[in-house]
């Protein structure tokens, strides 16, 4: 493909031709006025031989003589191949150019004639073509500075680059070509080359804001010193290559790599949307708003999107607070049917607006808002659908004003890919929220709705479900009336989290209550409960989808810890049996605290050897409190069980409050001010009372 000569290219080629070929002048009548040594070398005539004679005598062809005479008379120049006559009479094929040059008074003129033999002209044409390619290429910028570091020449390509300060570059210093801190470094580089003669090759430059490293401009340049024939410096030349597009491509890949690692790390919808926005602002856009459709159910399903369907704004990010203030970050959002956002949702493809000022669709959306956007400089916009499993769940709106480059197709593809990843995470989070809600509802229904008051004990309890990111666990507790005014206190914990852990907890709680109704001794009760637990695990092998069952609790290996205490007010004795559960804390009336040493026994469902759980008996005075709890109270990521037990003992020592206030004290000390917990927390506190004459 040929490169069309620009005016700059032609001007520079003419300059090269005049300085690299033989030259002489004619007066207004066509007679030779001056003769150069290069002309003498080419044709053999000395100045004495030719000056004052007619120039047509140098032409071998009659037609060329007539043409020259006519052009001189009319004042019209020419350029092209011709045949000249050497002094010895031999023909010389040459390239000749005739230019009319006005004199200073503008009333007279002379003719400048430049010529070269055909071979020299061929190489001159090649040099000119090379310079044309360099000066006319859309990828190469060429700028020449004089010895004072003022722009002597800059090609048209360079003047079109948006990252240079001014299109009218001639006569300007380097600091006005490349501005800011980069401009200072650029000028130092030019001065270094001019002073030392050492070239700078492939220096990397950028005017990119570090906060938005993808969409600025980058380029490389190579700087050379220019010298005259005596090797004296006369200026510097800078050849620049625009590498912005390749840098943007690398930036997009880097952004995608970071997004894969970051987006969707949690099972939280709001956090996932926030991560999606943070990846794009300010790296790709200056503003983003994410609006999600609110489906009729908790779980994502394909449903018809009607005009004026409300959406919920989940997040807004902007590099300019004013714009954020103009757009509410929360609440319902209603995009008009003709808006680009609705088009993106219906057509399931990004809508890119390269020039916002020319977009009738955006004006139709909200003329006042669009006018405000244009006032702050917003020039490009994009609406990208957020979809997963072929279901559109929302739309992202992106704007640019600080970044000078409009949104491109590659930008839309990248945002669409990131939005799909975010949508999958949002879908997973919503599904998890649904299952977690079901599990929590199930567990609360399966736990005691109220504790029956018993004359033998004063009881209080607290239950805190685990953090949503972990899932509901399998804690349970019970206060079970027994014959002869006795009472059973139970706290248990099924391994795992989620719906299946809650369901397993319900079945085990029912099992314990049933066995307690048979008035079994505590050790026998836990022995039979272990057998039932193992039978529950074996029955899980028949489920249709074991993988689904094992999502949060492996039914095939159900395990549960349990603490079972029976208090007899007549004898004031407690019988304690434990299956892998933390021992209770006993608070005596005088304020002393004790943790009884219980025989170690495996959790329910894990007693493969069929060993019984030895029980312990203690005689307790009225006013003594029993503190039962699950391991979630004392075990945390930042402390082990022993450390937790020490804290709990110190907390309960000399505590004289009621069981209800003791529950609050325990949670405040062990859990904190209502923050999320990694495991369910159950606390059951019973203060025993004597019943005289009880049987």
| DSSP per-residue string spanning 10-26 | HHHHHHHHHHHSEEEEE
Residue pair 89/60 in contact by the 8 Å Cβ criterion: no
Rg (CA), the chain: 45
Instruction: Give the pLDDT of residue 57.
Output: 92
Residues 82 and 182 in one domain: no
| CATH number where 25 lies | 3.30.450.20
d(CA 644, CA 636): 8
Instruction: Give the pLDDT of residue 548.
Output: 42
Residue pair 12/20 in contact by the 8 Å Cβ criterion: no
Which residues in the chain show pLDDT less than 70?
Answer: 1-20, 104-106, 120-139, 158-167, 179-181, 206-217, 259, 264, 294-308, 322-331, 363-365, 390, 436-450, 452, 467-473, 498, 537-557, 673-676, 692-695
Instruction: Give the pLDDT of residue 106.
Output: 63
Residue 15: how many CB atoms within 10 A of its CB? 12
Residues 481 and 414 in one domain: no
| CATH number where 495 lies | 3.60.40.10
For residue 277, the surrounding DSSP H or E stretch is helix 269-280
Residue 254, domain member (yes or no):
no
d(CA 554, CA 560): 12
Residue 319, domain member (yes or no):
yes
Residues 206 and 343 in one domain: no
Instruction: Give the pLDDT of residue 163.
Output: 52
For residue 685, the surrounding DSSP H or E stretch is strand 681-688
Residue 363: how many CB atoms within 10 A of its CB? 17
Residue 468, domain member (yes or no):
yes
Residues 467 and 568 in one domain: yes
The 3-state DSSP class for residue 6 equals coil
* Residue span of the structural domain in which 406 resides: 273-436
Residues 473 and 430 in one domain: no
Residues 339 and 474 in one domain: no
| Lookup: tokens for 285 | 């856009």
Number of domains in the chain: 4
Residue 162: closest CA among 355, 408, 406, 404: 404
pLDDT tens digits for range 235-256: 999 888 777 777 777 777 777 7
Residue 66, domain member (yes or no):
yes
d(CA 251, CA 378): 22
99 DSSP β-pair partners: 112
d(CA 637, CA 40): 97
The 3-state DSSP class for residue 584 equals coil
Could you say which of 407, 436, 465 is where a domain stops? 436
Residue 321: what are its φ and ψ, rounded to 5°? Answer: -65, -35
Task: Give whole-number Cα distances, 652 to 49, 85, 621, 647, in Å.
Answer: 126, 122, 17, 9
Could you say which of 88, 103, 129 is where a domain stops? 129
Residue pair 591/656 in contact by the 8 Å Cβ criterion: yes
Residue 257, domain member (yes or no):
no
d(CA 103, CA 146): 27
Residues 157 and 279 in one domain: no
Residue pair 345/339 in contact by the 8 Å Cβ criterion: no
Residue 426, domain member (yes or no):
yes
Residues 396 and 512 in one domain: no
Residues 180 and 202 in one domain: yes
Residues 348 and 478 in one domain: no
Residue 261, domain member (yes or no):
no
Could you say which of 100, 129, 158 is where a domain stops? 129
d(CA 509, CA 504): 9
d(CA 191, CA 32): 45
Whether the pTM exceeds 0.85: the reply is: no
Instruction: Give the pLDDT of residue 487.
Output: 95
d(CA 70, CA 64): 10
Instruction: Give the pLDDT of residue 552.
Output: 41
| CATH number where 297 lies | 3.30.450.40
- Map tokens 């209770």 to a residue: 584
d(CA 563, CA 577): 6
| Lookup: tokens for 275 | 């991560």
Residues 66 and 112 in one domain: yes
Q: Where are the beta strands (DSSP E) in 413-505?
A: 457-464, 474-481, 487-494
Residues 537 and 663 in one domain: yes
d(CA 646, CA 627): 14
Residue 17: what are its φ and ψ, rounded to 5°? Answer: -65, -40
């Amino acid at each position: 493909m040929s490169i069309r000569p620009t005016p700059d290219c032609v001007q520079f080629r003419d300059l090269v031709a005049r300085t690299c070929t033989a030259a002489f002048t004619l007066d207004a009548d066509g007679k030779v006025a001056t003769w150069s040594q290069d002309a003498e070398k080419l044709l053999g005539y000395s100045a004495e031989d030719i000056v004052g004679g007619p120039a047509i005598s140098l032409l071998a062809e009659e037609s060329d003589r007539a043409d020259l005479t006519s052009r001189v008379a009319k004042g019209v120049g020419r350029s092209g191949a011709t045949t000249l006559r050497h002094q010895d009479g031999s023909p010389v094929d040459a390239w000749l150019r005739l230019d009319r040059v006005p004199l200073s008074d503008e009333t007279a003129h002379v003719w400048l004639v430049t010529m070269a033999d055909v071979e020299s002209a061929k190489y001159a044409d090649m040099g000119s073509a090379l310079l044309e390619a360099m000066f006319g290429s859309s990828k190469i910028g060429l700028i020449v500075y004089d010895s004072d570091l003022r722009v002597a020449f800059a090609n048209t390509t360079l003047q079109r680059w948006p990252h240079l300060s001014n299109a009218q570059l001639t006569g300007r210093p380097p600091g006005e070509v490349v501005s800011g801190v980069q401009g200072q470094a650029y000028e130092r580089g030019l001065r270094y080359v001019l002073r030392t003669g050492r070239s700078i090759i492939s220096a990397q430059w950028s005017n990119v804001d570090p906060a938005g490293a993808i969409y600025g401009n980058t380029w490389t340049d190579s700087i050379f010193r220019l010298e005259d024939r005596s090797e004296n410096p006369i200026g510097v030349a800078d050849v620049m290559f625009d590498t912005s597009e390749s840098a943007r491509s690398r930036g997009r890949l880097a952004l995608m790599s970071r997004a894969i690692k970051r987006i969707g790390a949690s099972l939280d919808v709001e956090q996932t949307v926030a991560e999606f926005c943070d990846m794009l602002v300010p790296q790709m856009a200056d503003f983003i708003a994410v609006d999600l459709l609110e489906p009729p159910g908790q779980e994502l399903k394909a449903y018809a999107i009607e005009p004026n369907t409300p959406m919920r704004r989940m997040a807004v990010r902007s590099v300019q607070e004013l714009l954020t203030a103009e757009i509410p970050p929360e609440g319902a959002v209603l995009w008009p049917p003709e808006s680009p956002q609705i088009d993106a949702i219906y057509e399931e493809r990004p809508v890119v607006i390269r020039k916002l000022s020319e977009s009738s669709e955006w004006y139709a959306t909200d003329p006042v808002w669009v006018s405000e956007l244009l006032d702050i400089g917003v020039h490009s916009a994009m609406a990208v659908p957020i979809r997963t499993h072929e279901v559109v769940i929302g739309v992202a709106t992106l704007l640019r004003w600080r970044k000078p480059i409009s949104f491109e197709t590659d930008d839309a593809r990248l945002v669409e890919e990131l939005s799909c990843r975010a949508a999958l995470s949002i879908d997973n989070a919503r599904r998890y929220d649904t299952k977690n809600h079901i599990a929590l509802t199930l567990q609360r229904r399966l736990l005691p709705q109220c504790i029956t008051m018993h004359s033998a004990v004063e009881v209080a309890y607290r239950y805190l479900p685990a953090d949503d990111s972990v899932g509901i666990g399998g804690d349970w507790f019970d206060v079970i009336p027994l014959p002869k005014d006795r009472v059973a206190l139970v706290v248990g914990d099924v391994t795992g989290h989620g719906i299946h852990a809650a369901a397993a907890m319900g079945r085990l709680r029912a099992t314990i209550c049933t066995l307690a109704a048979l008035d079994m001794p505590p050790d026998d009760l836990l022995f039979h409960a272990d057998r039932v637990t193992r039978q529950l695990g074996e029955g899980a092998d028949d489920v249709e989808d074991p993988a689904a069952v094992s999502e949060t609790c492996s039914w095939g290996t159900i395990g549960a810890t349990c603490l079972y205490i029976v208090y007899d007010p007549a004898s004031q004795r407690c019988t304690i049996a434990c299956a892998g559960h933390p021992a209770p804390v006993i608070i005596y009336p005088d304020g002393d605290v004790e943790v009884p040493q219980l025989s170690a026994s495996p959790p329910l469902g894990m007693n493969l050897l069929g060993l019984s759980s030895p029980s312990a008996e203690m005689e307790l005075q009225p006013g003594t409190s029993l503190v039962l709890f699950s391991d979630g109270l004392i075990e945390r990521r930042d402390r082990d069980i022993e450390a937790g037990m020490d804290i709990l003992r110190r907390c309960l020592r000399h505590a004289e409050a009621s069981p209800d206030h003791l529950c609050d004290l325990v949670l405040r000390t062990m859990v904190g001010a209502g923050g999320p917990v990694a495991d369910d927390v159950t606390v059951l506190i019973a203060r025993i009372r004597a019943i005289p004459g009880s049987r």
